[in-house]
Structure 1
Amino acid sequence: MRIVGEANVDSLCSDLLAEVRAFRAQHPQVRHVDLISLDIPGHFYGKRYPVELLEKVAAGSTFRLPQNCVLLGAQGGMFEIGRYCFNDGDPDARRRLVPGTLKPVGWEAQPLGQMLITSEGTEAPIVFEPREVLARVLARLRGKGIHPVVAFELEFYLFAAQLSEGLPQFPRDPLTGDADDQPNMHIERVSRFSVVLDEMVETARAQGIDATTITAERGPGQFEINFGHLANALRAADWAALFCRSTRGVALKHGYRASFMAKPYLQHAGSGMHVHVSLYDEAGDNLLAVGRQLALRHAVAGCLELLPHCMPVFAPNHNALRRYRGAVWAGWGFEDRNACLRIPESDRHNLRIEHRLAGADANPYLVLATILCGMEAGLERQCEPEENPVGGLVFPQEMIEAVHAMQHRPELREGLGAEFVDVYCENKRQDHLAFMQDIGANEYRWYL
């Protein structure tokens, strides 16, 4: 458990109070701030807080929310999970403000702010809170002299704001009014949708996110926006989470719907979360380049060994699992975008792994924590990656099978925490059972 010392608490409160007061001076029209945190399925929960009361929290007043907010299912309901939810009285748990994350919200009709909150660093962290899970992994790596540098890339689709009979519709070209239904990677698509895309980037930057390049992807209405590399890996995951929220908000403001759904169209490319990870020592040397890149091979081997047991994190729902059917080569390679572990061409200092397996709707804190556990295990065992088999590694493509593979893997129970793994797997199991309660149109058409 990492508890902030008294001297550090005083310094942190002083810095937070200065941050809140500076924000109020710069944005006097803002009356409320959304205090938000990511739950297990990757949705934000929290409270809309009067900005004047935020000063009290920054000064050290206790701020609490129900502990079980973290355990909500994909549709927002609560499941009975072990001793939690319906068996624990739904207790409150302390949260703290995350310094440096108080920013204006530019996509709402009224002036608003937002700020991240977390149980990480409190006297009783929630062991299954995604941000806390990643913080524990990073703390363990720091104890071993390992410092990750991380960059996320997120793909997403634009749709028309309104669904038609529950189905997504192609976005309309703002110049011609035609449906943008042609899959291509042409720069002209970026130009045609530049008004909304540029505002997405500028809004992300207003949140403190180093959003960089914009790319038109292969699917109709599909784009990718990249972020800069960060030595603060926890903040890198914060950026990915906050970007999803701001991008959806900006899209709605412009009459579109932005979605990070992993496989919205069966016939078109899915959307991925690509994570670039380098590992450095205390002196700033790239550990992956040690010994003629031997350490790189060890890290790759560890990721590949754990990969079949991590699918509930990389593909957290039924739709996300659709993205892999016949579309992903679960192997590794240099400059190979077909491989789920790609080694981009780079110099010795920037040598890194690009982990391409996760869907865009995965939880960024948990994705990064899981990747780092794989790299850590490989470095410790110093194992060599096997030659890529024909068709790549076999991994579970059904949720119950995937959950079973994750729950009983010792490296994940040790690396992510046994309590977290049990809670997470039960959350996914319950989501699966809830999903199976619906009878779809195909079922009636085929079997009625």
Structure 2
Amino acid sequence: MKAEYETYCATHGRPDRIELMLCDINAVLRGKWLPGDAIGKLEGGAVRLPYSTYAPAIMGNEVEATGLGIVVGDPDGVLVPVPGTLRPVPWMPGKVAQLQVEMLTPEGAPSPISPREILKATLARFAARGWRPVVATELEFYILRPRKRGDDPPVPPPRTPTAQNYDLEVVARQEAILTEILSTCEAQGLETDTLIAEYGPGQFEVNFHHTEDVLRAAETAILFRRLVRGIVARHGMEATFMAKPYAEAPGNGMHVHCSILDAEGRNIFAPEGQGNIFADGTGPAGPAPLLKQAVAGVLDTMADFQAIFAPHMNSYRRFQPMSFAPSSPDWGYDNRAAGVRLPQTDGPAARLEHRISGADVNPYLVLTAILGGILHGIDTDPDLPLPIDDPGAAPAPTLGHDWFDAVERFAVSDHVAEVFGETYRHVYAAVKTDEVQTLTGLITPVEYRYYLSRL
């Protein structure tokens, strides 16, 4: 850390403060402000947080059923830096740096409830086979007019069309915000690819480059959300990665592209010694056997992992028929209606695209679930249904629309225990059950409007 800190200071000057950021179960960044000259305290293990900080509810309260927090005396864990994450925060006044941290258990070991450690454990399973996953994410978000109260509904920016799909004029209107987002991504080492105006009013999407550093891909998605909200707020607007901010407009998704390299750097999803495969999957061979098994495994585990792909009450508004969000464990070739899409099935770029997750997810956990599903498919070779493009394909049963059902299924799933471990299965289910009970227990204004004076 000392060398990284000195390099940072030589490039950007000594920071006034360093914001220490710990990713919790909901991918909310929690932590402390550290004086800019106190990096030695962090290196010396003198900076701590309550260990329960890993697993609060989205409202911020601790959840007794997790077995964490005050029920066990709320002990501290020691914060340790994540190497390579000391970066400037250009949108904030003054000299501000940010640094991702992890937390050791009170006994000094890596935490079994750290989302980052959960993903590391899955990557270790690939490394044991000599394989290296390659991933890329795509994140959608909305820019809104500023709201006066937290419960005010969203309103698009002025002069925003209802459907702005790929509209370059819309991008130009938000040029000041969007160019600052991209330049700040560069300053923070977040490798962006393309930026487009998405379909919804005020909606945009940024794609990131494919990378073998899967942990960094997850961190990039988390830091990008913080960056976007900060920059958009500085321009007097508001940004959200909420899954479904508008009832009648498309939701925000996080699509994940994934391939696997072997020890020699060859893509194991590409057919060996075979001719080209066309975009519709026809040709001499079709998808490679390992790609078929990977898709089958992701589909076979998708319902059990739905509470990861759709973690909040609002997330389930995306799962509607004929919406822009896939709602079934099905697959297709170049078909964006499918839960798993195969954009390419031959050559170095052969891969699957997982299209189920909302932009409101914890990226560490989503990548764990997808990669765990891939290994499940390769190890057990479950049946692969026909692609939705096939005339003989039967419709797949839709994913659930009920949040509590998804959490209950997650809580007892053997697939979840295998991929996430029984400890994390318990903690995650307890936190989500608390969120379900809290939010579904509220009586909404809609109920008062339509029922109070009529019944």
Q: Taking structure 1 as the reference length, what is the TM-score of the superposition? A: 0.91
Letter in 1 for 2:302: L
Contact 2:146 2:236 (C-alpha < 8 Å) held by counterparts: yes
- Mapped partners of 1:64, 1:146: distance in 2: 36
Q: What are the within-5 Å matches in structure 2 for residues 144-293 of structure 1? A: 144-163=129-148, 166-172=151-157, 178-185=158-165, 186-290=167-271, 293=288
- Mapped partners of 1:224, 1:165: distance in 2: 24
**Which structure is higher in helix share?**
1
- Mapped partners of 1:120, 1:348: distance in 2: 42
- Mapped partners of 2:426, 2:151: distance in 1: 34
Offset of 1:78 from its aligned partner? 1.2
- Mapped partners of 1:117, 1:281: distance in 2: 31
- 1:42-100 Cα deviation digits (max 9, x unpaired): 21001110121113424x44432211011111111111124222321111112311111
- 1:394-447 Cα deviation digits (max 9, x unpaired): 322212110121122212201111100111011101001110232111111222
Aligned partner of 1:127 in structure 2 is: 112
Aligned partner of 2:60 in structure 1 is: 76
Letter in 1 for 2:359: A
Aligned partner of 1:376 in structure 2 is: 375
Contact 2:19 2:31 (C-alpha < 8 Å) held by counterparts: yes
- Mapped partners of 1:377, 1:237: distance in 2: 21
- The alignment of Structure 1 onto Structure 2 pairs a total of residues equal to 427
Contact 1:127 1:420 (C-alpha < 8 Å) held by counterparts: yes
Q: Among 123, 141, 151, which residue is 1:138 paired with?
A: 123
Pairing 1:432–2:436 present: yes
- Mapped partners of 1:338, 1:120: distance in 2: 42
Aligned partner of 2:414 in structure 1 is: 410
Pairing 1:386–2:367 present: no
Aligned partner of 2:276 in structure 1 is: none
Aligned partner of 2:77 in structure 1 is: 93
Offset of 1:221 from its aligned partner? 0.1
Q: Decide which moves more: 318-327 or 22-31.
A: 22-31
Aligned partner of 1:7 in structure 2 is: none
Shift in CA distance, 339/304, structure 1 to aligned 2, threshold 3 Å: same
- Mapped partners of 2:78, 2:14: distance in 1: 29
- Mapped partners of 1:290, 1:41: distance in 2: 38
Shift in CA distance, 95/290, structure 1 to aligned 2, threshold 3 Å: farther
- Mapped partners of 1:81, 1:75: distance in 2: 16
- Mapped partners of 1:391, 1:266: distance in 2: 25
Q: Taking structure 2 as the reference length, what is the TM-score of the superposition? A: 0.90
Letter in 1 for 2:429: C
Letter in 1 for 2:434: Q
Contact 2:21 2:99 (C-alpha < 8 Å) held by counterparts: yes
Letter in 1 for 2:100: L
Q: Decide which moves more: 436-445 or 305-314.
A: 436-445
- Mapped partners of 1:335, 1:163: distance in 2: 43
Aligned partner of 1:304 in structure 2 is: 299
- 1:207-264 Cα deviation digits (max 9, x unpaired): 1100121110000000000111111101110101100000100000111111000000
- 1:350-400 Cα deviation digits (max 9, x unpaired): 111110100001110000000001000001112341125544333222121
Letter in 2 for 1:378: G
- Mapped partners of 2:406, 2:204: distance in 1: 29
Q: Decide which moves more: 267-276 or 379-388.
A: 379-388
Aligned partner of 1:67 in structure 2 is: 51
**SS of aligned partner of 1:114:** strand
Contact 1:34 1:115 (C-alpha < 8 Å) held by counterparts: yes
Contact 1:332 1:339 (C-alpha < 8 Å) held by counterparts: yes
Alpha-carbon RMSD across the aligned residues, in angstroms, is 1.8
Aligned partner of 2:2 in structure 1 is: 17
Pairing 1:442–2:446 present: yes
Q: Among 305, 310, 313, which residue is 2:308 paired with?
A: 313
Q: What are the within-5 Å matches in structure 2 for residues 42-53 of structure 1? A: 42-53=27-38
- Mapped partners of 1:117, 1:346: distance in 2: 38
- Mapped partners of 2:28, 2:41: distance in 1: 27
- Mapped partners of 2:190, 2:150: distance in 1: 36
Letter in 1 for 2:382: C
- Mapped partners of 1:307, 1:29: distance in 2: 47
Aligned partner of 1:110 in structure 2 is: 94
- Mapped partners of 1:119, 1:366: distance in 2: 17
Shift in CA distance, 325/163, structure 1 to aligned 2, threshold 3 Å: farther
- Mapped partners of 1:306, 1:120: distance in 2: 30
Contact 1:297 1:384 (C-alpha < 8 Å) held by counterparts: no
**SS of aligned partner of 1:385:** coil
Contact 1:277 1:353 (C-alpha < 8 Å) held by counterparts: yes
Offset of 1:164 from its aligned partner? 6.4
- Mapped partners of 1:251, 1:95: distance in 2: 30
Contact 1:159 1:169 (C-alpha < 8 Å) held by counterparts: yes
Contact 2:137 2:257 (C-alpha < 8 Å) held by counterparts: yes
Contact 1:120 1:135 (C-alpha < 8 Å) held by counterparts: no
**SS of aligned partner of 2:61:** coil
Percent of aligned pairs with the same amino acid: 35
**SS of aligned partner of 2:331:** strand
Letter in 2 for 1:182: T
Shift in CA distance, 163/346, structure 1 to aligned 2, threshold 3 Å: farther
- Mapped partners of 2:395, 2:243: distance in 1: 21
**SS of aligned partner of 2:400:** coil
Structure 1 segments unaligned to the other structure (5+ residues): 1-15, 173-177
Contact 2:295 2:340 (C-alpha < 8 Å) held by counterparts: yes
